[in-house]
Structure 1
Amino acid sequence: MVQSLVSLCAREVVSDHSSSPYWLKWVPRELFGPLLDAAFSSCRPLAVGELAQRWPERTLRVGGRRKQGRTPPSRLCIQALLLAVVRGLSDQRCALEVLDLCGLQGEDGGMGDSMGGWSLTVALCTMVVQARAGRQKAQRKEGERERKRFSALEREKDIKRERGKWKSGKEPHGDEGSGDRERMGLLGEKEWIKGVRRRMEMERKTEGTLTAEAGSTKENERKDLGSDVLVYVRADLFVNARSWERVHVALSISGPLKLQCRYLRVEEISVSRIRTLLNLLPCHGLLGIDIRYSSLGVGGLAELLPLLSKFPALNSLRLHYCNLDFRRDHPGQEEALKDLSQGLAQLKEMRSLSLTALRLPGQLRVLLSSLPNPLEILELPYLSLSPADLAYLSCSHHVSTLQQLDLSENHLNENTLPSIRRLLSQASSTLQHLSLSGCGLNDGLLRLLLPSLGGCWALKSLALALNPLSMAGVMDLVRMAVRMPSLRQLLYPNPLEDYQPGLPDLPSSAQLLDWPLDEATDTNATSSQLNRILIETRRSDLLLTCDLLNYDKDLVD
């Protein structure tokens, strides 16, 4: 990427921190953005802190850099940014009102020295608590200064009043007058001492009153602090059992920083705690919730869904390994499934639904038919879909709007193939990402499915890993792929010939994943044959890969 002259100059300026006092006060507001970008890319946390502390705009957006192909900011730079935001609360030069960190971290911690989702969430909550403590400390100091100033004024008034009384007395003549003056002086001194003692007693009473009032105003403190939020902090929050208490405190208190959430991801959290989090989050701004490894059950999910309906912008729901096991012989399951359907019907803006390993065979119609609007993203891996489920999906009101479909690890055979072909035909004009990895597609099934796959002219990425295909089947797949002009990525399976001997005739995806490749076989020869097809068809824009772990469909967006 060719850098602009402004970017090159900004990188040079932030490289020397010792010169920052000279140039920082003369920087126009339109150059703060390039300088901050240069500080992030060059890993200059001191420059990041100084720029953020006196940020001249109302909004500062740092998130989403990975989607733009940039390296995510380092942990030190993010920590410097957060500390500077807290310092900027008392800096008159800072105009910041909204700090947007959405999309900053990767799903599982990012790469290199970047800050992951859990660490960023903990750091944000700590920042909110520290900002509140700083505000309270500043208020106490200001109150103490005001009390001392008031006491000094009162003391000065009392001294002037005592002196005025002493000077206003009559002065007798002669010797008697001198004695009277001495007596008046002694009386005046005694009165002055009594006045000082009285003032000291009044000050002690005042301090006691202030201490008593401090306890009584704790209930009103939240309202007082919440009435003047200085900076709203938007971010994607990642909460698990270790960070639950800190997140709960940060969302419960009020202060100069207000935490807002765009996407909420929770792991290993009970239903009651998830319910508490949802009640603490602001109603506006939450776009999606991701619940993982939490034993919800059908009843627990049915309990949470009504709470999700209070978020008007919520359009994404992801449930991964949440122990949703539907059994007809279990008491109350039918009623819970009915409640689940009614709860989904209240999600008016739902566009993305991801269900992983929920064990609800034969219940796809109950779930999807209750959604009021058609989905654009539907992920159903490890769901043990039945032929009836696939038949419903191919005819549902969602199929004509689907842009992303994941049916990985759902076994396909001759009975389900007609439903899959009908589904692909209905979604051919909108479907952009399709995953059929681990579906048990052999050469014969793939040959029947290839015409339908080739008809998806909007498809950008196709994943068919862990399917038992021979080298001939993989070659047929690639020849079909090069004829799809919109396709940019193809995740193909390793041919069966590349594995060590001993595999069964139709191995499962788990066997293909664990079975070692044959070291005597040149895997580069397979890649060379496939790349030769790309060269012959002049499809240099199509990426062929069998690397399942590093495959990322979002790279084509």
Structure 2
Amino acid sequence: MVLSLISLCATEVVSDHSSSPCWLKWIPRELYRALLEAAFSSNRPLAVGELVQRWPERTLRVGRRKRGATSPNRLCIQALLLAVVRGLSDQRCVLQLLDLCGQQGDEGSPGDPMGGWSLTVALCTMVVQARTGAKRAQRKEGERERKRFSALQRHSDVKRERAELVENYRTSSSTVKSEEELKKGVRRRMEERKGEGPFADDGGTGMDYDDNDLDVLVHVRADLFVNARSWDRVRAALSAQGPLKLQCRYLRIEEISVSSIKTLLDLLPQQFLLGIDVRYSSLGVGGLAELLPRLSTFPALESLRLHYCNLDMRRDLHGQEEALRDLSQGLTQLHHLKCLSLTALRLPGQLRVLLSSLPQPLESLELPYLSLSPADLAYLSCSHHASTLQQLDLSENRLDETTLPSVRRLLSHASSSLQHLSLSGCGLSDHLLSLLLPSLGCCIALKSLALALNPLSMSGLMDLVKTAVRMHSLRQLLYPNPLEDYQPGLPDLPSSAQLLDWPLDDTTEINTTSTRLNRVLMENGRSDLLLTCDLLNYHNDLKDE
């Protein structure tokens, strides 16, 4: 990456903190953004704090990183949050919106970024502390105002008493008081009046302020990650009324009961939530049916993800039919939903109940580990969602010759829109793949294709790559290790779990498979196509392009 002259100069300026008192006084507001970016990239938390405390614009957005860029350092983020609180009392700071959406990085990755849970806790702590500090500042201001009022009242009383005494002295010639008696009279009357006025009964503690009277100075927008450990702190922050107001764009929830999720949704500002991700929470069909009416109150909600939430939709369970009707009715109210992700929810034969209820076609559909039946795939291939899908994940759903026609029909309908497809762990053998390759080749918009953990031989893998190089839009291919690369003992058609656990053969020449595949790329001039078999480190960065 080539840095501009401004970026190079900004990096040099923020590198020496001892010189900051000199340049901070003369920096124009147009250069604050470049300096802040340089402070983040150079891991200069002191410079970050000083710049944010004096931020000259109403909006500060941190977090939308370019592809390949690292997340800001944890210390820099902490310095930013502290500076926001200090800036509340700094007249040079005009900040009104702090946007940290997309900021959280991966815990433990290089550079020590702040993960989603840590950032959520830090934000909530900042909001609560700012509220407490604002109340303390309000009380101090009230105490100063009370003292000023008392001083003015005493001064007025002294002037009035002196005027009365002078008048009495002039009109009463028979009674002459000494100067000492006049002073005693003034002090006595002041002591008698002591305790009068609007602050007399406050016990000397200042005025008691109502939380509703505290105006919001800065709105803080972020993606929140809530679990059982952070639940109380998040609830306190969302309930607090003070100078900082917490807003949420994407909400991730883990291991929280249905009642707690309902409480959390009631506290969130409704106009900002775009997506909700619920994981490892035992919702059940009835619990999900209870949540859906609350989700419908968020007008911008476009993404719903449910992972390992213990949904078992078998018709033989008591009360299941009524729960399914409630669930279907709740889904009809999600008018703007574009992305639906369901993982390991045990939904065989029930896909029509879910998808037919949605009022508008989906753009992203993720259905891994759902044990989809032939009827499910047949419905999906003919549904109103098929022609609009941009992302489709059918990983770990077993495919065979009876379900393959439905998959081919689905790919045909989505051929002009589909950009990301995952069929990893679907049991695709060489024969099944040969039947599917013509349909894959017709997906003219496909950018990424994942086929890991399928039992392909080296011959089948070569056919896959030869088809991939003719797909001009394709940029990434996650391919499976061929069966020849494994140690002896695998069954003829191993499952994805067996392929994942079975050791590779150390006696085979290293990178032989990779060399043969890359030769196909070179022969076809496809240096822009990335081939990888690394399942654990595979990330679909093309989604952000």
| Bin for the TM-score computed over the shorter chain | over 0.9
Superposed CA offset, 1:292-314 (max 9, x none): 00000000000000101111111
Q: Within 5 Å, which residues of 2 pair with 1:507-526? A: 507-526=494-513
Change (3 A) 1:205 1:434: closer
Q: Is the 8 A contact 1:362 1:385 kept in 2?
A: yes
Superposed CA offset, 1:333-361 (max 9, x none): 11111111111110000000000000011
State yes or no: 1:546 paired with 2:545.
no
Q: Within 5 Å, which residues of 2 pair with 1:94-493? A: 94-106=93-105, 111-170=110-169, 181=176, 188-202=182-196, 206-208=200-202, 214=208, 221-225=210-214, 228-493=215-480
Change (3 A) 1:400 1:308: same
Change (3 A) 1:283 1:45: same
1:71 is displaced (CA, Å) by 1.6
In structure 1, what is the Cα distance between the partners aligned to 2:377 and 2:102?
34
In structure 2, what is the Cα distance between the partners aligned to 1:13 and 1:213?
46
Q: Is the 8 A contact 1:490 1:542 kept in 2?
A: yes
The one-letter code of the counterpart of 1:465 is A
1:368 is displaced (CA, Å) by 0.2
The one-letter code of the counterpart of 1:191 is G
More helix by share: 1
In structure 1, what is the Cα distance between the partners aligned to 2:433 and 2:281?
37
Deviates more, 1:266-275 or 1:516-525: 516-525
Partner of 1:64: 64
Partner of 2:493: 506
Q: Is the 8 A contact 1:262 1:288 kept in 2?
A: yes
Q: Is the 8 A contact 1:292 1:321 kept in 2?
A: yes
In structure 2, what is the Cα distance between the partners aligned to 1:548 and 1:94?
47
In structure 1, what is the Cα distance between the partners aligned to 2:96 and 2:197?
41
* SS of alignment partner, residue 350 of structure 1: coil
Change (3 A) 1:213 1:22: closer
Superposed CA offset, 1:65-118 (max 9, x none): 1x4432211001111111111111111111111111111113667653111100
In structure 1, what is the Cα distance between the partners aligned to 2:488 and 2:171?
129
In structure 2, what is the Cα distance between the partners aligned to 1:210 and 1:383?
66
1:186 is displaced (CA, Å) by 6.5
1:171 is displaced (CA, Å) by 7.9
In structure 2, what is the Cα distance between the partners aligned to 1:80 and 1:518?
50
In structure 1, what is the Cα distance between the partners aligned to 2:187 and 2:118?
62
* SS of alignment partner, residue 26 of structure 1: coil
Superposed CA offset, 1:254-289 (max 9, x none): 111111110000000111111111111111111100
The one-letter code of the counterpart of 2:7 is S
* SS of alignment partner, residue 272 of structure 2: coil
Deviates more, 1:205-214 or 1:29-38: 205-214
1:204 is displaced (CA, Å) by 11
Change (3 A) 1:463 1:121: same
The one-letter code of the counterpart of 1:194 is R
Change (3 A) 1:186 1:28: closer
Partner of 1:45: 45
* SS of alignment partner, residue 56 of structure 2: coil
Change (3 A) 1:426 1:74: same
The one-letter code of the counterpart of 1:223 is N
In structure 2, what is the Cα distance between the partners aligned to 1:264 and 1:289?
5
Calculate the aligned-residue CA RMSD, in Å.
Answer: 2.0
* SS of alignment partner, residue 221 of structure 2: strand
In structure 1, what is the Cα distance between the partners aligned to 2:269 and 2:335?
18
In structure 2, what is the Cα distance between the partners aligned to 1:528 and 1:44?
43
Superposed CA offset, 1:136-192 (max 9, x none): 11110010001111111222222233333333344899xx98xx646x557545533
In structure 2, what is the Cα distance between the partners aligned to 1:213 and 1:75?
39
1:212 is displaced (CA, Å) by 10
* Paired residues, number: 544
Q: Is the 8 A contact 1:498 1:523 kept in 2?
A: no
The one-letter code of the counterpart of 2:194 is M
In structure 2, what is the Cα distance between the partners aligned to 1:171 and 1:530?
116
In structure 2, what is the Cα distance between the partners aligned to 1:330 and 1:457?
44
Deviates more, 1:492-501 or 1:515-524: 515-524
The one-letter code of the counterpart of 1:387 is P
* SS of alignment partner, residue 246 of structure 2: strand
In structure 2, what is the Cα distance between the partners aligned to 1:479 and 1:159?
101
The one-letter code of the counterpart of 1:7 is S
Q: Is the 8 A contact 1:235 1:260 kept in 2?
A: yes
* TM-score scaled by length of structure 2: 0.96
Partner of 1:36: 36
Q: Is the 8 A contact 2:107 2:114 kept in 1?
A: no
Deviates more, 1:326-335 or 1:186-195: 186-195
* SS of alignment partner, residue 421 of structure 1: helix
Q: Is the 8 A contact 2:106 2:113 kept in 1?
A: no
Deviates more, 1:194-203 or 1:126-135: 194-203
Change (3 A) 1:120 1:110: farther
Partner of 1:497: 484
In structure 2, what is the Cα distance between the partners aligned to 1:539 and 1:232?
47
In structure 1, what is the Cα distance between the partners aligned to 2:351 and 2:110?
37
In structure 1, what is the Cα distance between the partners aligned to 2:265 and 2:106?
21
Instruction: Point out where structure 1 has 5 or more consecutive residues left out of the alignment.
Output: none
Q: Is the 8 A contact 2:279 2:307 kept in 1?
A: yes
1:193 is displaced (CA, Å) by 3.9
Q: Is the 8 A contact 2:107 2:113 kept in 1?
A: no
In structure 2, what is the Cα distance between the partners aligned to 1:425 and 1:211?
74
In structure 1, what is the Cα distance between the partners aligned to 2:104 and 2:114?
6
In structure 2, what is the Cα distance between the partners aligned to 1:222 and 1:331?
48
In structure 2, what is the Cα distance between the partners aligned to 1:286 and 1:540?
40
In structure 1, what is the Cα distance between the partners aligned to 2:219 and 2:13?
30
In structure 1, what is the Cα distance between the partners aligned to 2:133 and 2:188?
41
In structure 2, what is the Cα distance between the partners aligned to 1:167 and 1:324?
91
Q: Is the 8 A contact 2:139 2:206 kept in 1?
A: no
Superposed CA offset, 1:400-443 (max 9, x none): 00000000000000110100111111111111100000001111
Partner of 1:54: 54
